[in-house]
């Protein structure tokens, strides 16, 4: 069982109180990292107010650093509990790092229209 799963026990000794505080700090820090990763992915890739390309443009030459930090955070979390970031990781789309520090977003391909849904040409 991991410290992330065990409840805090209020012991009477000073050492045990400190141990409980350390465990709680580890839990809180880990959960904050998970939230930051998942929320960051959502704010960038599923933002109703701005497209990923618009946000990438606003990040400017800081975009590569931001993306790399987000990726490293995700990798660290995935080493401990990969399922914690499945939601955020599933949102991440295609992008390219540019030498000037910017990021180019690759739009997803347009969905194919099934033949049964395509419009029928008018008859003469």
95 pairs with which residues across the strands?
105
What average pLDDT score do residues 34-38 get?
A: 97
pLDDT at 65: 98
Closest CA to 19 of 27, 11, 28: 11
Q: Confidence class of residue 108 from pLDDT cuts 50, 70 and 90? A: confident
pLDDT per residue as tens digits for the range 110-122: 667 666 655 666 6
Contact 66, 105 (CB under 8 A): no
Question: What is d(CA 9, CA 19) in angstroms, rounded to the nearest whole number?
Answer: 10
6 sits in the region (left: phi over 0; alpha: psi -120 to 50; else beta) called beta
Terminal Cα-to-Cα distance of the chain (whole angstroms): 74
Say which residues have a Cβ less than 8 Å from residue 15's Cβ, sequence separation at least 6. none
Q: Does residue 52 or residue 110 have the better pLDDT?
A: 52
pLDDT per residue as tens digits for the range 69-99: 999 999 999 999 999 999 999 999 999 999 9
Q: Confidence class of residue 123 from pLDDT cuts 50, 70 and 90? A: low
pLDDT at 121: 64
3 has pLDDT over 80 = no
54 has pLDDT over 90 = yes
């Amino acid at each position: 069982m991991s410290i992330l799963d065990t409840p805090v026990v209020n012991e009477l000794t000073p050492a045990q109180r400190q141990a409980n505080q350390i465990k709680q700090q580890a839990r809180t820090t880990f959960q904050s990292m998970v939230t930051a990763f998942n929320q960051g992915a959502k704010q960038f890739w599923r933002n109703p107010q701005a497209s990923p390309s618009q946000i990438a443009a606003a990040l400017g030459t800081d975009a590569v650093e931001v993306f790399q930090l987000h990726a490293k955070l995700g990798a660290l979390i995935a080493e401990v509990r990969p399922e914690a970031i499945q939601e955020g990781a599933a949102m991440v789309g295609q992008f390219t790092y540019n030498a000037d520090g910017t990021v180019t977003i690759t739009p997803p391909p347009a969905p194919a229209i099934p033949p049964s849904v395509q419009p029928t040409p008018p008859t003469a």
